[in-house]
Amino acid sequence: MPDYATLAPSAPWRELRTTRADWDDADPAALESMLVSAHLIRAFEEKVLDLAGQGLVHGPAHSAVGQEGGAVGSAALMRAGDQINGSHRAHHQFLAKSIRYVAPAGLASADDFSPAIRDLAQRSLAEILGLAQGFCRGRGGSMHLRWAEAGNLGTNAIVGGGVPLAAGAAWAHKRAGKGDVAFAYFGDGAVNIGSVLETMNIAAAWKLPLCFFIENNRYAVSTHVEEATAEPRLSARGSAFAIPAWKVDGMDPLAVYLATKEALELMRNGGGPAIIEADVYRYFHQNGPLPGSVFGYRDKVEEAAWRTRDPLDRLASEMEHRQIIGSSGVAALRERALALMADVAAELVEQADGKNRIKPVLWPDEGFRDHGIRGDLSELSGQRTEELETFGGAIDGNAKFIDTVANVMQRRMATDDRIVVMGEDVHRLKGGTNGATRGLAAAFPDRVLGTPISEAAFTGLGGGIAMDGRYLPVVEFMYPDFMWVAADQVFNQIGKARHMFGGDIDVPLVLRTKVAMGTGYGSQHSMDPAGIFATSPGWRIIAPSTPFDYVGLMNSALRCKDPVLVIEHVELYNSTGPAPVDDLDYFIPLGKAKVVRHGTTMTILTYLAMVRPVIEVVERLGVDAEVIDLRSLDRAGLDWQAIDASIRKTGNVLVVEQGARGTSYGGLLAAEIQDRCFDWLDQPVQRVHGGEASPSISKVLEAAACARPADIERGVRQVMADQGRPLG
């Protein structure tokens, strides 16, 4: 029979329970401030439910009535520089952190509410109602609450989606070295999501000052926590990642306060992340003013039992026991909180035809609909721009493309200490798998971060760094197909953030990736991501086809305050072309295409590795075609001035791309051209693209799946034939 040894986790996992002595020793001012905050939050939530019941909340009203203890207990010790984010049920956390920000000295139960508290309540309620004066100007509503000044990074409708973003804020705090921390609030429904667990791992590995605050309210909508996991003590997750964890009664605000105090000491002193699991209970259904028992997934006995443990009552009774406050004082506080919310709501709602309605003047103007999808690129104004033909510096006519990729990043990191590079193996293998980060780890060891294989976590972490604003992340996807693993962070989070949070936040992030068609890496490593990213309006997309263009476009990408996808191609990596010898500081504007061959019979639009073969084909055939290297591929970045001018001249268009038909960029482009340029076209837009299927491993089948010179030739011949000018 084998011997067995019981293994212990590397980090402590403890349940913290308050004692009579803890309550007797607690700071009266801290207890009083928590009580006032809890009553303000309760009154706020009840007003939200009241308005929802009247049909005045358009969309969900995810209240946290009953869960206030976790929010006020954890926020009570935060300082202004600390940051938080949360999930869809986060009014209480948003308010608790914001109250702490506007009243850092605390709140007294007998004092009148300050103008700052009133303004906070009104702007928060206005946001939930979708009004222009809300924190996100009505775009966020109940689920997307952001007030960066107060340390609220933004709450999130995707369950668990904000956790990697909070890790980015925590990384920025660690880098800044001021002792500030980040809190990611989420519930039992998020604990088993991959991006959350990935983030726990990376936070522990990198010792980030991040608290994973789990509000275990036992129900993900109607599914009970014990149905969802075999280990319903959710703080147990810490043992898997060597993260110290505390389990507390979230209906006991002092227990949360004491656990948070210990966690903050750990995080502020460089001890890495912490987990706090607070057992709480939402009194109402997932959404709206009815209890869960109405929907049959829990009963009234259970609900009543939890209500006897109300966190507001617990605080008040303990304070009464110590004679800090009397019952009449508690009642007066309650009435003042309700009156505040009644007054605030009255400023937003009016009566018309005997019914309440939102005051029409408060709605956002419809013209605000698309404002702030992306920035205005004013950050690029005044920069020195160059094109190869007019460049006055020394040129190496045979520079290797991949060397230029590494050289320009070396230059930018040397001149801008905000830049941090992250991705799988970027710090090893002489510059990653292709050499694109060659020399960077040696020169900037603390700013080149080799990540675990966890695209969701490190992409979201990069997004969090970008939204924090102090540092500039450059994230590498080894292959673009991996974007599907991180799709939530790429599209729901990073791509939508600026617009979703009101249109005025910056998201300066560069995402590099390479198209690997022709390398034999098969269907899951070979896609061209342009067509997919072009459907996400928050992203800018560049696709340099020469070393010279790569320098100028990458400089613009790194200066841009929007997220920018930089598409590279393995066929180009080992190619040679003109590149500057020592001047790596010029810019090529985003949204500026380049006519690389002038002509009059047709316009050929292409990009990346297809530019050179297109030129070779038309010159071999002797066709007077105009070839345009698009360079910028997002809808906002298409150079319609150049495209329109060419089409007016030629009347015929051929779009050439290498990749699969299903994820095609050319289909989107062709549709745009048909809409904009129909009157100038002599025939429908023609296209050259790969097959329907993704490239596969077989060398023969892979070649057949991609557009080749023969396909380009067929496309050119077809356009000429449809003009009545067939080629011989």
Beta-strand pair 83-85/182-187? parallel
In terms of Cα–Cα distance, which of 647, 609, 613, 606 is closest to 628? 606
Calpha distance 77→183 (Å, rounded) = 12
Cite the active site residues: 455, 525
Compute the Cα dihedral for 342, 347, 350, 356 and give only its sign: negative
Task: Extract the tokens encoding 84.
Answer: 């938080």
Calpha distance 273→325 (Å, rounded) = 36
Beta-strand pair 274-279/245-249? parallel
Compute the Cα dihedral for 39, 40, 44, 50 and give only its sign: positive
Query: 115 and 123 in contact (C-beta within 8 Å)?
Result: no
Calpha distance 400→351 (Å, rounded) = 71
Calpha distance 238→10 (Å, rounded) = 10
In terms of Cα–Cα distance, which of 721, 723, 715, 709 is closest to 617? 709
Calpha distance 105→100 (Å, rounded) = 8
Calpha distance 159→56 (Å, rounded) = 25
Query: 248 and 263 in contact (C-beta within 8 Å)?
Result: no
Task: Extract the tokens encoding 227.
Answer: 């149905």
Please name every residue paired with 511 in a beta bridge, in sequence order, or none if there are none.
Answer: 475, 565
Calpha distance 382→390 (Å, rounded) = 18
- 578 burial (CB, 10 Å; 0-12 / 13-18 / 19+) is middle
Calpha distance 577→547 (Å, rounded) = 6
Task: Extract the tokens encoding 354.
Answer: 């005997």
φ/ψ (deg, to 5) at 272:
90, -160
Calpha distance 306→252 (Å, rounded) = 12
Residues 6+ apart with CB under 8 A from 378: none
Task: Extract the tokens encoding 459.
Answer: 């992409």
Beta-strand pair 13-16/245-249? parallel
Beta-strand pair 653-656/602-606? parallel
Query: 50 and 127 in contact (C-beta within 8 Å)?
Result: no
Calpha distance 659→528 (Å, rounded) = 6
Q: How many other β-carbons are positioned within 10 Å of the β-carbon of residue 176?
A: 13
CA angle 149, 151, 152 (to 5 degrees): 100
How many Cα atoms sit within 13 Å of 720 on the Cβ side?
Answer: 18
First to last CA, the chain: 85
Residues 6+ apart with CB under 8 A from 404: 547, 550, 551, 579
